[in-house]
Structure 1
Amino acid sequence: MKVESFELDHTKVKAPYIRLAAVEEGPKGDIVAKYDLRFITPNKGAISSGGMHTLEHLLALFIREELDGIIDISPMGCRTGFYLTKFGITPLSEIKKALESAFEKILKAEEIPAANEVQCGNYKDHSLADAKEAVEKVLNEGLSLLENV
């Protein structure tokens, strides 16, 4: 069995970028697309644990305000970005526009949604400052759109 992210040559990509990583068709014809939202070049750095956790909370809210059909936005274990999973294929330019809009909301955020003992499994591990620093860096560098890596 192939794991798409293990097939990616991490030495050949330069972040920040957005790429369509996979498309699957379900047994009833539903199309599910997975996007690689890479904020930091692999093996060249990582977002802090607290910053990544905070981005997960903020993006979970803000990306759903921008795009329909979101299934999930999940942090990468390497802490260099996120996977966005959604129903249907959306052009990369629309994903970019939605992500940049979500980033602008993050830069204005004054609190972290659901960062409490009831709604979060590790509510003490957050950093709004690190989250804002990460998205500001991505916005300053600009997101590339990668069709193929």
Structure 2
Amino acid sequence: MAEVESFTLDHNKVIAPYVRVITTETGPKGDTITNYDLRFAQPNKAEIPTGAIHTLEHLLAALLRDRLDGIIDVSPFGCRTGFHLIVWGKYEAAEVATALKATLTQIVEDIEWSDVQGTDAKSCGNYKDHSLFSAKEWAKLVLEQGISDDAFVRQVV
């Protein structure tokens, strides 16, 4: 069985919220992709409710693309403590953390329900499970705590 990096991470030692490079891989044609850990909640201490994480997923997928080129995917962790961000190429963790901070600020200050894409039965597989209120509350919490560009030492951007 292949070893998965995320399952080798000591989740008891990380200090959320943070941005961390999980892996950078180069494909057979030389293309590089990087997978980031955007951790919002402290593992095994808190989890983001499904309505909040679902709405955050939709918002991050759209709004982070306005700040970072080459985004392939933004998807929530099954443990509901954060998100994978997969991009072409590589950014420093601090660059991603800065873009995430600006995006969360925009969510808190500017986003209304009508801005959230993919909230009907045609465009979402579970359209009834959204909460903009909870998404904004989690965004506020992450911003209040500050986003570190290191998973183990608080280096808030």
Q: Same fold (TM over 0.5)?
A: yes
- The root-mean-square deviation of aligned C-alpha atoms, in Å, is 1.3
Q: Where does residue 135 of structure 1 map in the other structure? A: 139
How many correspondences in the alignment? 149
Give the secondary-structure state (helix, strand or coil) at the position aligned to 2:84.
strand
Change (3 A) 1:147 1:48: closer
In 2, the alpha carbon distance for the partners of 1:14 and 1:93 equals 16
Q: Where does residue 100 of structure 1 map in the other structure? A: 101
TM-score, reference length from structure 2: 0.91
Asked if residue 114 in structure 1 is aligned to residue 115 in structure 2, the reply is no
In 1, the alpha carbon distance for the partners of 2:101 and 2:93 equals 12
Q: In the alignment, is the contact (CA less than 8 A) between 2:17 and 2:142 conserved in 1?
A: yes
Q: Where does residue 56 of structure 2 map in the other structure? A: 55
TM-score, reference length from structure 1: 0.96
Asked if residue 124 in structure 1 is aligned to residue 128 in structure 2, the reply is yes
How far residue 148 of structure 1 moved from its aligned partner, in angstroms, is: 7.0
Note the residue ranges of structure 2 that are not aligned, 5 or more in a row: none
How far residue 69 of structure 1 moved from its aligned partner, in angstroms, is: 0.5
In the alignment, residue 73 of structure 2 is paired with which amino acid?
D
In the alignment, residue 110 of structure 1 is paired with which amino acid?
E
Give the secondary-structure state (helix, strand or coil) at the position aligned to 2:125.
coil
Give the secondary-structure state (helix, strand or coil) at the position aligned to 1:6.
helix
1:15-94 to structure 2, matched below 5 A, reads 15-94=16-95
Note the residue ranges of structure 1 that are not aligned, 5 or more in a row: none
Give the secondary-structure state (helix, strand or coil) at the position aligned to 2:149.
strand
How far residue 91 of structure 1 moved from its aligned partner, in angstroms, is: 1.2
- Moved beyond 6 Å, runs of 4+: none
Deviation sequence 1:90-120 (CA, Å, 0-9, x none): 0112111111111122112111211011100
How far residue 147 of structure 1 moved from its aligned partner, in angstroms, is: 7.0
Q: Percent of counterpart pairs with the same letter? A: 51
Which stretch has the larger CA shift, 66-75 or 89-98?
A: 89-98
In the alignment, residue 130 of structure 1 is paired with which amino acid?
S
In 2, the alpha carbon distance for the partners of 1:148 and 1:138 equals 16
